[in-house]
Amino acid sequence: MRASGSKIQQIASSVRPRTSAIQSTPYSWINNSTPSSSTGTLAGKSIAIKDNISYTPAPTSCSSSILQEYNPPYNATCVESLVSAGAHVVGQTKMDEFGMGSLTTHLPPFYSLVHNPASPSPDEPPRSAGGSSGGSAAAVAEESCWAALGTDTGGSVRLPASYCGVVGLKPSYGMISRRGIIAYADSLDCVGILAKEVDDVEQVFDVISQPDGGDMTCSSSSSRSIASKILQRHFPKNGIRGLRIGLPQEISISCPPSLIKYLKSQGAEIVEVSLPALSKALPAYYVLASAEASSNLGRFGGGWYGSSVEREKANKDESGEERRKRIRTEGFGKEVKKRILAGTWALSADEFNNTYLKALHLRHLLRGNYQSLFRIPHPLSPTRSITVDQGGIDMLLHPTAIRTAPVLKSRQDKGSDEYNQDLLTVPASLAGLPAMSVPSGKGKDGWPIGVSLTSQWGMEGLVFKLGKVVE
Ligand code: GLN
Measure Cα distances from 244 to 13, 169, 191, 356, 373 in Å: 52, 21, 28, 35, 11
How far is ligand 1, taken at its centre, from the CA of residue 430, in Å?
A: 12
Q: In tens digits, what is the pLDDT along the chain, a chain of 471 residues?
A: 333 334 444 443 333 333 334 568 999 999 998 888 788 999 999 999 999 999 999 999 999 999 988 999 999 999 999 999 999 999 999 999 999 999 999 999 999 999 999 999 999 999 999 999 999 999 999 999 999 999 999 999 999 999 999 999 999 999 999 999 999 999 999 999 999 999 999 999 999 999 999 999 999 999 999 999 999 888 877 789 999 999 999 999 999 999 999 999 999 999 999 999 999 999 999 999 999 999 999 999 877 776 655 556 666 678 888 888 888 998 999 999 999 999 999 999 999 999 999 999 999 999 999 999 999 989 988 765 656 677 899 999 999 999 999 999 777 656 668 888 899 999 999 999 999 999 999 999 999 999 999 999 999 999 999 999 999
Does the active-site annotation cover 132?
yes
Among 422, 424, 437, the mutation site with the greatest number of ligand 1 atoms within 8 A of its Cβ is 422
Distance 137 CA to ligand 1 centre (A): 15
Tell me, yes or no, if 50 is annotated catalytic.
yes
Does the C-beta of 160 come closer than 6 Å to ligand 1? no
How many A from CA of 183 to the centre of ligand 1? 12
Question: 382: which DSSP letter?
Answer: T
How far, in Å, is the centroid of ligand 1 from the Cα of 101?
A: 5
Q: Check if 152 has its Cβ closer than 6 Å to any atom of ligand 1.
A: yes
> Catalytic one among 50, 94, 170, 280?
50
Concatenate the DSSP letters of all residues of 299-335 into one string. GBSSSSBS-HHHHHH--TT--HHHHHHHHHHHHS-HH
Whether domain 6-236+398-470 has CATH 3.90.1300.10: yes
pTM (two decimals): 0.93
**Cβ of 170: how many Cβ atoms within 10 Å?**
34
pLDDT of residue 18: 32
- Please write the tens of the pLDDT for every residue from 144-196: 999 999 999 999 999 999 999 999 999 999 999 999 999 999 999 999 999 99
281 and 188 in contact (C-beta within 8 Å)?
no
Q: What is the mean pLDDT of the chain?
A: 90
Q: What are the respective helix, strand and coil percentages of the chain, to the nearest 5?
A: 35, 15, 50
Question: How far is 69 from 75, CA to CA, in rounded Å?
Answer: 16
State if residue 128 touches ligand 1 by the CB under 6 angstroms criterion: no
221-270 confidence digits (pLDDT tens): 999 999 999 998 888 777 899 999 999 999 999 999 999 999 999 999 99
Which atom number of ligand 1 is nearest to the Cα of residue 335?
A: 4
Q: What spacing in Å lies between the alpha carbon of 156 and ligand 1's midpoint?
A: 5
The edge-to-edge listing of strands for the beta sheet with 88-93 is: 27-30, 88-93, 46-50, 147-152, 190-195, 167-170, 435-442, 448-455, 395-399, 244-248, 269-273
Catalytic residue among 24, 63, 132, 223: 132
Task: Give the count of alpha carbons within 13 A of 46, CB side only.
Answer: 18
Q: Say how far apart CA 128 and CA 63 lie, in whole Å.
A: 16
Domain range summary for the chain, segments of one domain joined by +: 6-236+398-470
| Ligand 1 pocket member 133 (CB < 6 A) | no
Best of 52, 95, 96 for a ligand 1 pocket test (most atoms within 8 Å of beta carbon): 96
For ligand 1, is residue 156 a contact (CB within 6 Å)?
yes
Sign for the CA dihedral angle at 155, 160, 162, 167 comes to negative
Q: Which atom of ligand 1 is nearest to the CA of 133?
A: 9
Question: What region does 101 belong to: left with phi over 0, alpha with psi -120 to 50, or beta?
Answer: left
Q: What are phi and psi of 187, to 5 degrees?
A: -75, -5
